[in-house]
Structure 1
Amino acid sequence: MDLGSTALALLGLLLAAWTAAAAWLMIAAGARSRGADAARRTARRLGRLLDEAPTAALLVRSDGRLEGSERLAHWLGFEQLPQFLSELSKHPDRGLTGEQLDELTEKVRLAQKSAAPFRMAVTLPGSSRSLALRGSLADPQVSPGGAALIWVFDFSESEHELAKMRNETARSKSDFAALVGLIEAAPTPMWFRNPDMQLQLVNKAYVAAVGAASAQRVIDEQIELVEPIDGVSPSAIAQQASQSGEPVERIVSVTSVDGNRRRFRVSDLPLGQEGVAGYAVDIQEQEDQAREHRAYREAQRSMLDRLSVGVALFDGQRRLTFANQPFRRLLGIRPGAGAIGAAFERILSDARDEGRITEVRDFPSWRKEHIAWFEAGDTQEEDWPLSDGTHLAVVGQPMPDGGLALIVEDRTEQLSIAANRDTLLRTRTAMLDSLFEALAVFAPDGTLQLWNHSFPETWGLEPEALDRHPSVDTLLAEIQPNLARPKQAKGVGEVIRSATLDRKERAGRLQLADGRTIEFAGIPLPDGNGLLTTLDVTANEQAEMALRDRAEALEAADKVKTRFLANMSYEFRTPLTSIGGFAELLEAEVAGPLTDGAKEYVAAILESVARLTDQVENVLDLSQSEAGLLPIAARDLSLLAFVTGVARAREDAIEAKNLSLDLTGSQSLTLSADPRQLGRAIGQLLDNAIEACDEKGRILVDLSKHDQGVRIVISDDGRGMDDSELARALDGMRAEIGSEGASRRQGLGLPLAKQLIEAHGGRFEIQSRKGVGTSVSLWLPRKPR
C-alpha cells in the first residue's frame, strides 16, 4: 500500500513537472516568434529605406559575382542585374563601356586586396545618365571573404547643371570680352563711372573727343567730355541718375578738339550699385538735316498750296498735317472743320456729310478699307463719282514714315470732254455704218484710212483686203475686175485724187459687172483728207419704174372705183325705192283691204326698207368719203336748232328707254355745213348713246365755241367700252352682248361719223371706259375746208 501510494505520488510529481516544462517551453517559443516577426519587419523596413534612398548598393564578391537591387539594374539599362562584373560591358547600348569596366575592375581588385577606397564617375553609353561610384572593402558582417561594397549615386541632374553653368560661364566671359571690344571700338564716346561718380573706364572715341593722350590719362585727370551747364557738372547729373534709378538724357553742345561746337545727345544709365554708364551720340548732322528737311518741307508745302490738285498729308498716327485749299474745296471741308491734327476717319466722315465721296452702302467697311491704305505697300487709286455729277480721281500714296499722301483731282471736265469725244467718235462710226451710202476716207498720200460696212459690199471687195489700208492704186486694181467697163476704174481714181490733192468735188456714174448702177463722188474734208461716197442707185431706178407703173394702175383703178360707186348708187337705190313704193301702196289698200296680219307684215316691210335704205346710204357715203368723192353741200346753220331737230327725231327711242337728254348751248352758235351729212353724223352718235344706255340713263349734248369753230360733245353714262372694244368699234366691229366673238356692225356708226366729220374738215375724238360711259367730241370749223 505504501509502495503504491509512493508510486502514485511520484507519478503525480512527474506529470506536474512535465506540465510546467511544457508551459515554459510554450511561453519561450511565443517570445521567440514575436522577436522573429519584429526582426522581419525591421529587415523589410530597412530594405524599403535602401530602395527609397538616393543611392544603390552593389556588392562585388571576390570571385566577381554581383549582388544588387533591381533599381540599380534599371540604372545600368538591364532588366536584371548580371551575375558577374565582367558581364556589364557585353551589350553596346547597356551597362558600361569596355574602358569604364576595365577601370572599375582594377579599382575593385585594389579595394579587395588593400582595403583602399575609391571614387569613380561614369556616363552610361547611349544615355545621358551619369553615375558616381564610391567603393570600399565590405564589412565582414555584410559579406565575409573580401567582397567590395560600391555605393552608386545618380547625379545626372547635377552633372547637367554643372555643364550648363560651365558653358554659361564660358559664354559670359566671351560676351564680356566681346562687349569690352565693342565698347572700345564704338564710334561714339562711352564711359563708366564708379559708385563715387569718378571716371573708371573710357573708350578710344572718348579719348579722341577730349584730345587726351591715352585713356589712363583721362581717368587720372578726370577729363570730362561735357562742360558744366548752369553750374551742374556731368558727375552731378550722373549722381542724379544713380539716385533716381532712371536714365537721364540731354542734348548739349560740345567743343571738339578742332574748336568747332557740335551737338551731342548725352545719356547717363544707372547700373545699380556698380556705378553709372554713359555715352554721347553726335547729332549735329541730324540737326543740320532736320533744318534742311524743314526748309524743304516748307518750300514743298508752299508749292502744293499753289497747285490746282488737292493734296493732303497724314502722319503715321493718321492725323492731318497739311491740306491745301483745293483739297478742302474738293472734299467740302468747312473752315475750322479740317484743322491740322484731325483724324483721317473724321475727314472722310465730314466729306460724306457734305456729299463729297462716292455713295456706298456700308460706309464703316468702306472707311476701314481706306484706312488700310496707310499700311499698303503700293499706290492706291480710285474714282469717286459724286451725286452732283462731279468725278474725283483719288490717289493714296503711302509714305515711308507710315503716313499717307492723299491726292484728289477734279476730272469732271476731262471726263466730259473725253465722253463727248468718245460719243462723237462712236456717233460718227455708227452713223457711217448705218448709212446706205458706201463711204471711204483717203489720206492725202492716197492711203485708205476709214470706211463703213457698205463700202466693200458695194464695190464687191473682201472686207479683209481693206484691213491693210491699201493705197488708191492697189484698191483700184481690186475694183477693176468688178466693173462692167474696167477702164472706168481710172475715173474713180481721178475723183479720189481731185478730192485729196486738188481739194475739188467731182462725181461720176458707172455700172458694175453684176448689173448694178453706182454713183460716186469725191468730197474734200477739212482735215486734208478726201471722202469717197458711193451709192447703189439700181434700186432707185427700179423703184421709179415700179412707181410709174403703179401710178398708172392707181389712176385706172380710181376711174373704175368712181364708175362703180356711181353705178352702185343707182343699183341700190332703184330696187329699194320700188319696194318701198309698192309697200306704201299696199298700206294704203290700193289693191284692196288688208287683214290685221297683212298690215303688220306691210309695216315690217316698210321699217326694214327704211333701215336698209339708211344702211345703204351709210355704205355709199362711207365709200365716197374714203375715196374723197363725198359731196359736201354746205350752208349756214343755227347749231342749237339743228341739233335739237336731230334729237327730236329720236324722241320715241329716248322715251321708250325712259332716258333723259340734256342739250346745252348758245342760240348764237352758227356754222357752215352740209345739213344732211352733219345730221347723219350726229344722229349716228345719238343712236349709239341711246343703245348703250340702260333704263333711266342720261345723255348729255353740249355745244360750245372754240378758237376756230364750234365743239359738240355727246356723252352718256352707258356700259362703255374698253380699249379693245373701242378699237373694234372704230374699225366697224362691235362685241355682241352675251357672246365672246365680234361681228360686223349692222350700221357703221362710229366710222361713218368720223368720216363725215373729217369730210367737213373737223376732228373726231372719242373716250370710253367700261362701266362708266362714252364721250365723243366733234371739233368743226366755221366753214368746211
Structure 2
Amino acid sequence: MATAVAVVALIPGPAQAATLGTSETAALALFLGAVFVAVATSIMLLRARARHVESQSAADAAIAELRRRLDVAETLAAGDAQTIVVWRAGVARPEIVGDLAGIPGAPAGGRLLAFGSWLEPEAAAGLETRLEALRRRGEPFRVMLRTLQSGHVEADGRPVGASVILRLRDVTGERLARAEIETRNSELLGALARFTALAETLTQPVWLRDEHGRLVYANEAYARAVEAKDGPAAVEQGAEFLDQNERAAARRANDAGAVFRKRTPAVFAGSRRIFDVVEAPSRNGSAAIATDVSELEDVRADLSRQMDAHRRTLDELATAVAIFSADGVLTFHNQAYARLWSLDPAFLDGEPSDPAILDKLRADRKLPEQADFRTWKLQLHEAYRAIEAREHWWHLPDGRTLRVVAAPNPKGGVTYLFDDVTERLALESRFNALSKVQRETIDHLQEAVAVFGSDGRLHLHNPAFEALWRLTPAQLANRPHAEDVLNACRARDPDAALWGKLRMAMTAMPDERQPVAARVERDGGGVIDVVTLPLPDGGTLATFTDVTARVHVERALRERAEAVEAAVRLKNDFTSHVSYELRSPLTNIIGFGQLLGDPRLGALSQKQREYVDHILSSSSALLAIINDILDLTTIDAGAMALELEPINVREAIDAAVEGVRDRLSEAGLGLEISCPPSVGIFVADGKRVRQVLFNLLANAIGFSKPGYAISVSAERTPDDIVFRVADKGSGIPPELVEKVFDRFESRTAGAHHRGVGLGLSIVRSFVELHGGRVSLESNIGEGTTVTCRFPLRSLETEAAE
C-alpha cells in the first residue's frame, strides 16, 4: 500500500505537466509504467506466497488427518486378527496386509490365495467362485468358511473404488457360535435336501406336519395318492391321505411322545388299499410314511383262507385225521377224529402225545386186543422214521373195522388217517347178496334182458332172452360179441337198417352210444319192442318185450276210435243237412202265419188269432233252435269267422234286453242293469255278443222266481270286459254244475222249466271263439250267476291285423 502511495506521489499534477516538455513527459510516463508494473508484480507475488502458505497449511492438516485415520485403522486392524487382500487396478499381484497368525491353518505370503490348501474343498470352491464374480462384476459377498483344522473364517469381499478388497477374519466368540450355527444349518439343509431327494423317489407316501398338525411337506407318492398335481399342491390344498379318525389317533399318540403304528385302509388314487402307517413325533411336528401292504395282506388273507379252507375241508371229511409233530405231539385233528374215539375236546386241545392217546384208548378198550401191546405200539410208531405210508387194519372190540394209514410228513411227524370201513364191508356183503337177488330177479323176468359191456361183449342175459330169440346156451357162451348175437337174432327179422342201428347202440364208443327204441315185427307175426339204454359204466342194457297181444288190442281200439270219429262226423253232417232242410219250410210257415195274422187279408176270430199267435211263437222258437244248431255245427267245423268291430257295451246290453222284454213282463220279473260309462267300447263281434247276452237273459228268465229281479252288469278290467247275469232262481245242484254247458243238457233236473239245452252251450262256444272264458256260480235256493270274460288285448290285436 505504501508503494502505491509513493507511485501516486511521483505522478505530476496538471500544472506540473504543463510546465514539462514533451521528451520529459515521455520519459516520465515510461518510468511510471515501469514502477506500476513492478508494484503490480510485487502484489501478485505477495498474494501467491500467501496462498502457498495457506495451501501448505491445509495439506499439512490433511496429512495429519490421514495419519490419524491410518493410525486408527492400524489400531483397529491390529486389534482384530484379520488379513486383507487388495487387488489394485493395473497391478497384477495382489497386496496382502494383516496378521496371518490369527487365522488357523492359513499359510503366509502368496500361498494364502491357494484356498484349497487350508479351506475345506467345498468352501474353497465357493470362495473362488465369489471372488471371480467380485473382480469381474463387483458383486460383494460375506460368507463363513470352514478350514481344514475345523476353524471358521469370515470372508468379506467388496469393491473399493477401482480396487477389490478381500478381508479374511478369524471368527471367535459370538461370531464363532453363529458360524457354527450356520454350518450346522447348512449341514441340516443338506441332510434335508438328501432326505427330500430320497423321499421324492419313494413309492410310499411320505409327509411332514408342524407342531400344530398342519401338513408342511408331501412327496410325489403322497400327491398321487390324494390326486394332486404335486407335493406342494397337495400341501397348499391341505389334502389328507388318512381319514379323520386315524389322524386324530396319530395326533394323540404323538402328543404323548409315542410313535403311531397301525395297519389301516386308505384311498390311493381312487382305489382303496391297505397301508402300514408309521408317524413319529419330533419337537416341531411329526414325520410319517405309509407302506402299501395290500398285496401282502391279500397273500396273507389268501393263505389264511386256504388254511381255514383246508381245516374246514378236513373237518368235513368222514375220514378221521390226526397230525402229530416230529416229537409226537398232536398238532391237528378234525371233528371226525374226535367223534371216532369219543375223546374229550379239552384233552385233545391240550396237545397230548401220540403214546398218551394210545394209552388212553387202550385203557378205554377202544384199540384192538394185543398180546404184546408195547411191541405193537413200537411197530405203529415206526412210521415216524419211515419213507412211505403204511396201512393197518384194526378190528375193534365194539365190532368196528378201521383202515389206518400212517403217512410220514415231509418235515417230520406222522399223519394218521382212520377210515371206518365197517359199513363198506357190510355194503360189499349186501351188494354181493343184492347182485345174487338181482340175478335171480332178471332170470325170472318175462322180458328178455341182455347187458353188453363197454367192449361190446355180452355180460349178462336171462333165460327169457334165449327163449325169445330161440338161442342155445352154446351160442351165448364165452361172452360173444354184440354183432354175433344180433346176427343170430336178425335171422328172425330181415330189417337190416334196424339191426344196424342196434349194433351201433351196443358197439359204438361209450360216450357216443345213444338210446334206441324200436319195434321188430317178426316173420311169424310176432311184435317185439326193443329198447337200449347206455349204462353209467359204459355198457348197454337191451330189453326185448313181446308186445304182440298189446299191439293187437291197440289196433282194435284204434279202429274203434276211427269208427266213433266217423260216426260223429256223420252225425254233424246229418244235423247240418237236416237243419238246413228244416229252415226252408219253417220260413214258409212263419211267413204264412204272419200273412194270416195281417188284418188286411181279412178279420179272424179270437180263437183263430190265438192259433196264429201260437203258430208264430212256436215257429220262432223252432227257428231259434235250428239257428243254434247250425251255429254249433259251424263252430265245430271251424268255419265260423268273427266280424270284429267296436262295440258299445251299454248298447249291446240294451239290444239283448229288448229281445226279452216281453218275457220279463210275462214272467213278472224285474231287471237291474249296472253298466258305468267307464266301461266304454271294446272290439268284438257285436252280433255274437248280443246273442250271448240274449241267451243268458233267456236262461235266467226261465229259471227265476216271479217277483224277483234279474241283474245284468258289465265292468272293465285291465285285461277283460266282464259280463255277469244273475238270477234268484232255484239254483243248480253241485253234481250238475259241470254238465250245464253240455249240449242238449237241461240246466236242472225236475225243474218247472225245461229247454232244448243249447243256450249255455252256445254262450260258451261264442265266448271261447273270442278267446274268453265262462264261469258259473250257483247255490241251491239262492240263484245262479254266469260270468263271461272277453279279452281286450287279443281281440284288439286281431282287429288291427
Q: TM-score, normalized by length of structure 1?
A: 0.39
Q: TM-score, normalized by length of structure 2?
A: 0.38
